[in-house]
Amino acid sequence: MKKLILPAALLLASTFAQAQIDTTNTPEGLQGRSLQLGVSAKDGAFARVSSPDSTKKPNPLVITTQRKKITILTETRDWTSESDSINDRLKDIRTERRNQFTYWSGVDVGLNMLLGPNGSTNLPKESEFMELDQANSRFVSINFMEQKIEFGSHHVGLLTGLGWEITNYRFKGNDLLQFQNDPVFSIPVEDPQFRKNKLRQSGFRMPLMLEFNTKRAKMPTAEEMAAARRDTVGGKRPPNYEFRNNKNFHVALGVVGTWYYDSMYKLKYSQNGATQKDVDKGEHDLLPYRLAAAARIGYGGFNLFAEYALTPLFENNKGPKLTPFNVGITIIGFN
């Protein structure tokens, strides 16, 4: 009998010595923390208060309405399969790289010019009434969408997109433009003196350009992605796939097409001590579309552009033979 009691006692003592822990949840006074009571061979009898590990819990988005509270909880989804998830992640990384090395989307600001038949801003005598106040003949474009097809890498690709432009032609002379009869002509005016004498076009634009980039931006391989995923002990850090366009020289060459849906001729002057504004909205014999040879060049986030129209300003035989030309800078890049 004693032989049976002794081993049982030793087994009970060994189990008791390894760990005896009783966890008691005590919300009142502990505010979500838990009280642990136990005995272990290392610590003996102990009592301690522990807080829940909140670092691993996702932070929910809570939307409160008049009658309801809506909680949206976002958690990282486990990979459905290694190959499918790697392909999805590589696709996302490639999209990030393509967006970083495309230079269409943004806000362009520049100056408009009108070139005569000889390619000069000094217009022939019969067209002098169209000479511009160059500093105030401004061009603004908001290029709000871009898409690029890469030719194997980010170094070369075909880009397109959409934009919205406003083209202002501010005239230097005190001439009143007449659009009622063909062709467009002007009437010199001595009084009043125009403070503003301008023609404006508004339209949507779309580029088709070949773009070149010099900076290397290596994509990870599927093997690197899988190795980083399987490394659970932290010995190998996943590569950093943030792409930066600093020190990148970029050039884009092609054409930009614009469809003009609106034009306006505006005069501003003083008469009898009051400011007068005359606004004439119509077609004004302007060509409602434009095709321009375009170039964009830059370094890093800095970008310059130039667009030389391949179509005239006015419709055929309805105005002086003038070619629009605009140059400028991208002041805000959306990428």
Predicted pLDDT of residue 39? 60
Predicted pLDDT of residue 3? 47
Q: What is the mean pLDDT of the chain?
A: 83
Predicted pLDDT of residue 87? 83
- Whether the ω angle into residue 183 lies within 30 degrees of 0, i.e. cis, is yes
- Section 116-123 average pLDDT: 92
- Section 159-168 average pLDDT: 98
The H or E element that residue 117 is part of is: none
Apex 300 CA angle, 161 and 145, nearest 5? 15
Q: Output the six-digit token pair for 99.
A: 């967006």
Domain ranges in the chain are 82-232+245-333
Residue whose tokens read 């849906």: 261
Residue whose tokens read 């949206």: 72
Q: 62 near 198, Cβ under 8 Å?
A: no
Query: Which of 227 and 37 is assigned the larger pLDDT?
Result: 227
**Sign of the torsion angle spanned by Cα atoms 157, 162, 164, 168:** positive
Categorize the per-residue pLDDT at 171 as very low, low, confident or very high, splitting at 50, 70 and 90: very high
List pLDDT tens digits, range 293-302: 999 999 998 9
Count of CB atoms situated within 10 Å of the CB of 84? 10
Categorize the per-residue pLDDT at 5 as very low, low, confident or very high, splitting at 50, 70 and 90: very low
Predicted pLDDT of residue 232? 53
Residue 141 to residues 94, 194, 284, 327, Cα–Cα distance (Å): 28, 27, 22, 12
Count of CB atoms situated within 10 Å of the CB of 20? 12
Q: 203 near 168, Cβ under 8 Å?
A: no
Query: Which of 292 and 100 is assigned the larger pLDDT?
Result: 292
Q: 33 near 23, Cβ under 8 Å?
A: no
Query: Which of 35 and 72 is assigned the larger pLDDT?
Result: 72
Lowest-confidence segment of 60-64, 305-309, 328-332 by average pLDDT: 60-64
Distance CA 113, CA 139 (A): 10
Residues 6+ apart with CB under 8 A from 284: 179, 184, 199, 263, 265
**Sign of the torsion angle spanned by Cα atoms 22, 23, 25, 29:** positive
- Section 220-248 average pLDDT: 71
- Whether the pLDDT of residue 13 is over 80: the answer is no
Q: Output the six-digit token pair for 50.
A: 């522990």
Considering the entire predicted model, what is its pTM? Answer: 0.71
Residue whose tokens read 């909880």: 73
Please give the share of the chain, as a percent, with pLDDT higher than 70. 76
Count of CB atoms situated within 10 Å of the CB of 177? 19
Distance CA 84, CA 133 (A): 60
Long-range CB pairs of 323-327, under 8 A, 24+ apart, other chains included: 323/114, 323/115, 323/116, 323/119, 324/112, 324/113, 324/114, 324/115, 324/167, 324/290, 324/292, 325/112, 325/113, 325/114, 325/115, 326/110, 326/111, 326/112, 326/113, 326/139, 326/167, 327/110, 327/111, 327/113
Query: Which of 246 and 233 is assigned the larger pLDDT?
Result: 246
**Of 65, 110, 169, whose CA–CA distance to 296 is shortest?**
110
- Whether the pLDDT of residue 34 is over 70: the answer is no
User: If you count DSSP H runs as helices and E runs as strands, how many of each does the chain have, helices first?
Assistant: 4, 16
Q: 30 near 49, Cβ under 8 Å?
A: yes
